[in-house]
Amino acid sequence: MKNQFIPLDCGEDVVLLDKDTFTVTRLREVILRQIISKWRQEICVNKTSFTNGSVGSLFHSISTGDSLIPFNEIRLNAVKECQLLKVGGKGWQKGKLNIRLFIYPNSDKINHLNLEFYPDKSIETVSHKDDTHQNIR
């Protein structure tokens, strides 16, 4: 992926994934709900017992025998082809959606979901073409 990206902070921007469209706010809800649902289902299927049933409680540390190694951060990352329609933008833009989930099992930090859009064409190229197109009119 290119270095330039658009952070998906505006909840009203729209993301097209295959045939499904979501506002950024709704996409965040769907992703988090799916992760929680899959995690709970896995706990039930394997009849695993956790004190609080969270991902963090399972991976807060590993044992190497007599010693424990605590994990400060767990990251899940996915990349998916998509299109983005920005509020006030000029149409759909093709690119990749980078989904990163940060889980902090041994901290008071709040778990975090980060969504970033990496356009197929660089941001500068797109804006330059738009400026040229406007000048021709």
Residue 8 near residue 26 (C-beta atoms within 8 A): no
Residue 71: per-residue pLDDT: 82
Q: Is 134 helix (H, G, I), strand (E, B) or coil?
A: helix
Question: Does 1 map to a domain?
Answer: no
Q: What is the pLDDT along the chain (137 residues), one digit of tens a residue?
A: 546 999 999 899 999 999 999 999 999 999 988 887 877 776 666 655 555 556 566 667 888 889 988 888 889 999 999 999 999 999 999 999 999 999 887 788 888 999 999 999 865 544 444 444 444 33
Three-state secondary-structure class, residue 33: helix
Decide: 125 and 133 in contact? Cβ < 8 Å: no
Quote the pLDDT of residue 135. Answer: 41
- Does residue 59 form part of some domain? yes
Residues of the domain holding 48: 6-136
Paired tokens of 96: 């990749």
Amino acid 128 reads H
In a domain, 63, yes or no: yes
pLDDT score, position 107: 81
